[in-house]
Amino acid sequence: MLINLVNLLSNMKTRSKIPQQNSTLLSLIIVSVLVSFPVTRSDDGSNGEYLIGVGSFDMTGPAAGVNMMGYASMDQNTAGVHFRLRARTFIVAESSQGPRFAFVNLDAGMASQLVNIKVLDKLKSRFGNLYTEDNVAISGIHTHAGPGGYLQYLVYTVTSLGFVQQSFDAIVNAIVQSIVLAHHNLKPGSIFINQGDVVNAGINRSPSAYLLNPAEERARYPKDVDTLMTLLKFVDGGSGKSIGAFSWFATHGTSMSKDNKLISGDNKGAAARFFEDWFTTTNTSTGATISSPPDSSVAAALIKKAENIKATGGKPCGKTTSRKFKVRKNDGSLFVGAFCQSNVGDVTPNVLGAFCTDSGKPCDFTHSSCHGNNQLCLGRGPGYPDEIQSTKIIGERQFLRAADLFTSATEQLTGKIDFRHVYLDFTNIEVDLEGNKKVKTCPAGLGPGFAAGTTDGPGVFGFQQGDQKINSTWRRLRDSLKKPSQYQVNCQQPKAVLLSTGEMFVPYAWAPAIVPIQMLRLGKLIILSVPGEFTTMAGRRLREAVKETLISNSNGEFDEDTRIVIAGLTNTYSQYIATFEEYAQQRYEAASTLYGPHTLSAYIQEFNKLAKAMAKGDKDLPKGPLPPDLSSVQIRVGDPTGDSPPPGTKFGDIKEDVSLPKSGSFQKGDRPTATFWSANPRYDLLTEGTYAVVEMLQGKHWVPVYDDDDFSLFFKWNVDTSSLYGTATIEWEIPTDTNSGVYRLRHFGSAKETKDSPNTYFTGASSGFAVS
């Protein structure tokens, strides 16, 4: 065993997939687990409790000129790829004909009602009534670095200047394909659950609002954020091998700032990449080791060999050629590791706190501003001022905790699979409060604190979080769009209504009125699918209420061991849900609580109805009003109209080759860069392929070792300002555990001469260079 352990750890360090600075910590995790547990696996069953299946598919959208979803900044348009986005799915069923559900985790800002509608249509045509709105949950990780334009309500497509069909199609296709893969992978297996705290991966970005919650309630919790991660481990019942893991933990996808223009899954996408590569590497160990730094004669030989390798120039290739150069080829058998979102509303990954950019002092505690200026108050991640490093660190903290929970999971889930789902018109729900008091929710509305933005990404100048008044200029502008009704003004108090989105229908609806709520049961695990971002305390109240309802109505079927997790931003997006007390301060989260001060109470009331029905076995719930399909009325963003390279060149030709250092070879940590003449990447998303590759010369053959799904490789697209022709730049930050050798950078792309002409595909590689 000791020899195998040494080989395993050595092999893990030969790839950049596991951050080098954590190799010691990761080694300690594995050693501790092997020492603590016997060699015989506790999860090795011949059949398993359930049918289980996992699937994953590329959902990377348009990488050029499309507004990103999250910060609502019109200047933040895609201009390349840091690493690809994926849809990851698990399906669990009692039997081939028994109850089942599918849970899909998207590397996207949030779920979309229209996406759900079209996905369910496609699933119905393929599977009949096997997968429906009742038993399919589609959840977003809340990255703010993915292409937008895929939601159907106007307020969410303003900054993208309309609906982006290509973004929408990429997401819908990936969800369907991931579900199809998971369905075809269904086999007997077992599911294990484990929980543990994640240290320093999130802090509360609205602590002044949190402090308005009752002191006795706050005293029950050690922190003002939830630190608990809940992880499911899926094990093949025949082979005893793990096939996937899904975890839930609350922290915002805002490690990457609104200045970033590279597509990225942010910290949760990074955690998934690290986790999947860690699992794959540890389970395909060959005992390989990192090569020692070469002596001077060997280094000189590498340099000489590299000098003889010239850039290839642009070459034609096929539509799917880049897939052959992928390091991770998706044949449906890949291990799937997903990091899902939870009650994330007031949780930021920028854990160093928020500071004034002009003075370096902490921001105003109540308003998160500096001298009254919201633009100067910015949160700092642990890698400050490097947002890539912050993304990596927060991703690592989630990944390492998940790896520990995964490796040590021994508690097996057993019991029923069940689900409940209803649609609700959230603009007019009557809520019963204590003391026989009745209140109602409101049409959707946004307050001035919404316009202020957050410490993760400040909004419009002139607003502050906590504002409860609107100046005359903004009031006139608001009224020119839609003056809120007096009913709305009264209903939303103390929120001042800046945008009465629930009363705005020109050219079509600005905000959702009908939203879904859903409960999924897997034994004694309950997943609450919520269509928005619950704050920390709002999520706690919902979980506790549902658990109490289940226990009191189930005759012992549910008890204190029942686990409740919130799956945030699921099935639809309706912004935030703050507590009644937090709503009074009108910071960003409260100002974005669409349906008024009693929104949380309405959710608790309606989820309790689902919980009571589930506990009593009642399946005859009214489905509620169906949401609209607004696809036919969308204002659509056009496609690129055609590209050509500069005269005398071809796409794929080198514009700027790799510039060698004075020593003649690169060192670990250096960043070799090459720029190619290239067409707009929107002509083909190269789904399950790659725009960028690092190749290593092994013997006489070039072998791909990194692609645009790796954290160390950056694909950047731009328009050359002097010539107005498109360029693709590939940058490789050489990992500290890279083997010495000869490498080159390769680019893949697609082009059209005109909008209606057929696609052509091309590739090109840089000159060789040595890494020593």
pLDDT tens digits, 574-630? 999 999 999 999 999 999 999 999 999 999 999 999 999 999 999 999 999 999 999
DSSP state of 644: -
- 683: helix, strand or coil: helix
C-beta neighbour count of 481 within 10 angstroms: 12
**What is the pLDDT at residue 47?**
58
Query: 215 vs 283, which has greater pLDDT?
Result: 215
| pLDDT above 90 (res 753) | no
C-alpha to C-alpha distances, 108 to 69, 111, 122, 144, 743, nearest whole angstrom: 8, 7, 20, 8, 33
- In Å, how far from its chain's centre is CA 189? 27
HSE of 513, CA atoms in CB hemisphere, 13 A = 21
Query: 346 vs 45, which has greater pLDDT?
Result: 346
pLDDT tens digits, 448-469? 999 999 999 999 999 999 999 9
> CA 271 to CA 391: how far, in whole Å?
9
- 150: helix, strand or coil: coil
- In Å, how far from its chain's centre is CA 324? 26
> CA 72 to CA 459: how far, in whole Å?
8
DSSP state of 199: P
**What is the pLDDT at residue 14?**
37
Phi, psi of 478 (to 5 degrees): -60, -45
Phi, psi of 155 (to 5 degrees): -60, -25
| pLDDT above 90 (res 9) | no
> CA 262 to CA 226: how far, in whole Å?
29
Task: Name the band, by pLDDT with cuts 50, 70 and 90, for residue 13.
Answer: very low
Task: Name the band, by pLDDT with cuts 50, 70 and 90, for residue 722.
Answer: confident
Q: Are the beta carbons of 95 and 174 closer than 8 angstroms? A: no
Q: Are the beta carbons of 562 and 509 closer than 8 angstroms? A: no
**CA angle at residue 198 from 194 to 199, to 5 degrees?**
150
> CA 705 to CA 694: how far, in whole Å?
6
Task: Name the band, by pLDDT with cuts 50, 70 and 90, for residue 295.
Answer: confident
DSSP state of 73: -
> CA 67 to CA 79: how far, in whole Å?
10
- Which run of H or of E encompasses 104? strand 100-106
> CA 248 to CA 229: how far, in whole Å?
6
Residue 275, amino acid: F
Mean residue pLDDT across the chain: 93
Beta-ladder partners of 677: 727
> CA 487 to CA 468: how far, in whole Å?
18
**What is the pLDDT at residue 293?**
64
Phi, psi of 397 (to 5 degrees): -65, -40
**What is the pLDDT at residue 755?**
83
> CA 711 to CA 19: how far, in whole Å?
10
- Which tokens in the block code for residue 762? 């091309």
- 614: helix, strand or coil: helix
Q: Are the beta carbons of 155 and 501 closer than 8 angstroms? A: yes
> CA 674 to CA 730: how far, in whole Å?
6
**What is the pLDDT at residue 204?**
98
Q: Are the beta carbons of 70 and 49 closer than 8 angstroms? A: no
633 φψ region: left (φ > 0), alpha (ψ -120 to 50), beta (else): alpha
Residue 516: which residues within 8 A CB-CB, separation 6 or more? Answer: 133, 421, 422, 423, 424, 529, 531, 571, 572, 627
| pLDDT above 90 (res 8) | no
**What is the pLDDT at residue 618?**
95
Once rounded to an integer, what is the mean pLDDT over residues 237-257? 97
> CA 496 to CA 591: how far, in whole Å?
9
- Which tokens in the block code for residue 39? 């060699």
Exposure string over 131-158, b if 16+ CB within 10 A, otherwise e: bebbbbbbbbbbbbbbbbbbbbbbbbbe
DSSP state of 487: H
**Percent of residues, the chain, with pLDDT higher than 70:** 92
Task: Name the band, by pLDDT with cuts 50, 70 and 90, for residue 283.
Answer: confident
Task: Name the band, by pLDDT with cuts 50, 70 and 90, for residue 292.
Answer: low
> CA 766 to CA 746: how far, in whole Å?
6
Query: 537 vs 96, which has greater pLDDT?
Result: 537
Query: 617 vs 7, which has greater pLDDT?
Result: 617
- In Å, how far from its chain's centre is CA 698? 36
- 185: helix, strand or coil: coil
pLDDT tens digits, 61-106? 999 999 999 999 999 999 999 999 999 999 999 999 999 999 999 9
Phi, psi of 497 (to 5 degrees): -85, 105
| pLDDT above 60 (res 42) | no
Once rounded to an integer, what is the mean pLDDT over residues 55-64? 98
Entry pTM: 0.93
Once rounded to an integer, what is the mean pLDDT over residues 270-284? 93
